[in-house]
Structure 1
Amino acid sequence: MSVILCTAGYDHTIRFWEALSGICSRTLQHPDSQVNRLCITPDKRYLAAAGHTNVKLYDIKSSNPNPVMNFEGHSNNITGVAFHCEGRWMVTSSEDCTVKVWDTRSGGLQRNYVHKAPVNDVVIHPNQGELISGDRAGTVRVWDLGDSVCTHQLIPEDDVAVSSVSVASDGSLLCAGNKKGNVYIWRMIQDANVTRIVPITTFQAHKDYLTRVLLSPDVKHLATCSADHTAKIWNLDPLYPPAVAAAAAPPSASKLNSITKPNGTLSNGSGTPASASSLTLRSASSDLAASDFSMLGSQSPNSVAAAAAAAASAQQAAFPTQPDGPPMDETSHTLFLETTLAGHQRWVWDCAFSADSAYLVTVSSDHYARLWELASGTIIRQYSGHHRGSVCVALNDYSEPR
Structure 2
Amino acid sequence: MSVILATAGQDDKIRFWEAPSGICSRVLRYADSQVNCLEITTDKQYLAAGGNPHIRLFEINNSSNQNPILCLEGHAGNVTSLGFQRNGRYLYSGSEDGTVKLWDLRSPTYSRSFDSKGAVNSVALHPNQAEIISGDQNGSVKIFDLGSSKCISDIIPDSRSSSTSSHGRVAIQSVDVSDDARTLVAANNHAEVFVWNPADATMNQSNGEPCRPVAKFRAHPLGAYLLQARISPDCRSLVTTSSDRTARIWDTATWQLTQTLSKHKKWVWDAVFSADSSYLVTASSDRSALLWNLRTGTPVRQYTDHDYAVTCVALNDSST
- When normalised by structure 2's length, the TM-score is 0.92
Amino acid at match of 1:355: A
Deviation of the 1:336 alpha carbon: 1.3
Amino acid at match of 2:44: K
**SS of the counterpart of 1:189?**
helix
**Please, which of 274, 291, 298 is the counterpart of residue 371 of structure 1?**
291
**SS of the counterpart of 2:129?**
coil
Task: Return the alpha-carbon distance in structure 2 between the equivalents of residues 180 and 351 of structure 1.
Answer: 18
Q: Could you say which residue in structure 2 is the equivalent of 1:169? A: 179
Q: Could you say which residue in structure 1 is the equivalent of 2:213? A: 199
Q: Could you say which residue in structure 2 is the equivalent of 1:120? A: 121
Deviation of the 1:159 alpha carbon: 2.2
Q: Could you say which residue in structure 2 is the equivalent of 1:335? A: 255
Q: Could you say which residue in structure 2 is the equivalent of 1:390? A: 310
Q: Could you say which residue in structure 2 is the equivalent of 1:220? A: 236
Task: Return the alpha-carbon distance in structure 1 between the equivalents of residues 179 and 237 of structure 2.
Answer: 12
**SS of the counterpart of 1:393?**
strand
| Aligned-pair identity (%) | 50
Is the 2:36–2:80 contact (alpha carbons within 8 Å) kept by the matching residues of 1? Answer: yes
Amino acid at match of 1:151: I
* Cα shift readout 1:144-187 (whole Å, capped 9, x = no counterpart): 00000000111113320000001001111100111111000111
In proportion to residue count, which structure has more helix? Answer: 1
Gaps of 5+ in 2: 159-167, 205-210
Q: Could you say which residue in structure 1 is the equivalent of 2:196? A: 186
Q: Could you say which residue in structure 2 is the equivalent of 1:261? A: none
For the aligned residues, what is the CA RMSD? 1.3
Amino acid at match of 2:198: M
* Cα shift readout 1:308-342 (whole Å, capped 9, x = no counterpart): xxxxxxxxxxxxxxxxxxxxxxxxxx321000000
Gaps of 5+ in 1: 238-333
Task: Return the alpha-carbon distance in structure 1 between the equivalents of residues 11 and 216 of structure 2.
Answer: 36
Task: Return the alpha-carbon distance in structure 2 between the equivalents of residues 391 and 13 of structure 1.
Answer: 11
Task: Return the alpha-carbon distance in structure 2 between the equivalents of residues 117 and 144 of structure 1.
Answer: 18
Amino acid at match of 2:298: T
TM superposition outliers: structure 1 runs of 4+ over 3 Å? 194-198
Deviation of the 1:67 alpha carbon: 0.1
Task: Return the alpha-carbon distance in structure 1 between the equivalents of residues 39 and 12 of structure 2.
Answer: 16
Q: Could you say which residue in structure 2 is the equivalent of 1:6? A: 6
* Cα shift readout 1:250-294 (whole Å, capped 9, x = no counterpart): xxxxxxxxxxxxxxxxxxxxxxxxxxxxxxxxxxxxxxxxxxxxx
Amino acid at match of 2:213: P
Is the 2:37–2:49 contact (alpha carbons within 8 Å) kept by the matching residues of 1? Answer: yes
Higher relative contact order (CA 8 A, sep 6+): 1
Is the 1:187–1:198 contact (alpha carbons within 8 Å) kept by the matching residues of 2? Answer: no
Task: Return the alpha-carbon distance in structure 1 between the equivalents of residues 110 and 302 of structure 2.
Answer: 38
Amino acid at match of 1:84: Q
* Cα shift readout 1:201-244 (whole Å, capped 9, x = no counterpart): 0000012100000000011000000011000000124xxxxxxx
Task: Return the alpha-carbon distance in structure 1 between the equivalents of residues 148 and 130 of structure 2.
Answer: 10
Amino acid at match of 1:362: T
Q: Could you say which residue in structure 1 is the equivalent of 2:153? A: 152
Task: Return the alpha-carbon distance in structure 1 between the equivalents of residues 181 and 120 of structure 2.
Answer: 22
Q: Could you say which residue in structure 2 is the equivalent of 1:232? A: 248
Task: Return the alpha-carbon distance in structure 1 between the equivalents of residues 35 and 111 of structure 2.
Answer: 24
Task: Return the alpha-carbon distance in structure 1 between the equivalents of residues 132 and 54 of structure 2.
Answer: 20
Amino acid at match of 1:387: D
Larger radius of gyration: 1
**SS of the counterpart of 2:244?**
coil
Q: Could you say which residue in structure 2 is the equivalent of 1:38? A: 38
Q: Could you say which residue in structure 1 is the equivalent of 2:163? A: none
1:27 matched to 2:27: yes
Task: Return the alpha-carbon distance in structure 2 between the equivalents of residues 80 and 200 of structure 1.
Answer: 26
Deviation of the 1:190 alpha carbon: 7.8
Task: Return the alpha-carbon distance in structure 1 between the equivalents of residues 315 and 302 of structure 2.
Answer: 15
Is the 1:188–1:198 contact (alpha carbons within 8 Å) kept by the matching residues of 2? Answer: no
Deviation of the 1:199 alpha carbon: 2.1
Cα 1:380/1:195, change in 2 over 3 Å: farther
Q: Could you say which residue in structure 1 is the equivalent of 2:70? A: 69
In proportion to residue count, which structure has more strand? Answer: 2
Q: What is the aligned residue count?
A: 302
Task: Return the alpha-carbon distance in structure 1 between the equivalents of residues 219 and 179 of structure 2.
Answer: 22
Amino acid at match of 1:358: S
Task: Return the alpha-carbon distance in structure 1 between the equivalents of residues 136 and 219 of structure 2.
Answer: 19
Amino acid at match of 1:374: L
Is the 2:77–2:96 contact (alpha carbons within 8 Å) kept by the matching residues of 1? Answer: yes
Task: Return the alpha-carbon distance in structure 2 between the equivalents of residues 108 and 172 of structure 1.
Answer: 33
**SS of the counterpart of 1:199?**
coil
Task: Return the alpha-carbon distance in structure 2 between the equivalents of residues 53 and 3 of structure 1.
Answer: 29
Task: Return the alpha-carbon distance in structure 1 between the equivalents of residues 198 and 30 of structure 2.
Answer: 38
Is the 1:182–1:205 contact (alpha carbons within 8 Å) kept by the matching residues of 2? Answer: yes
Task: Return the alpha-carbon distance in structure 2 between the equivalents of residues 15 and 236 of structure 1.
Answer: 32
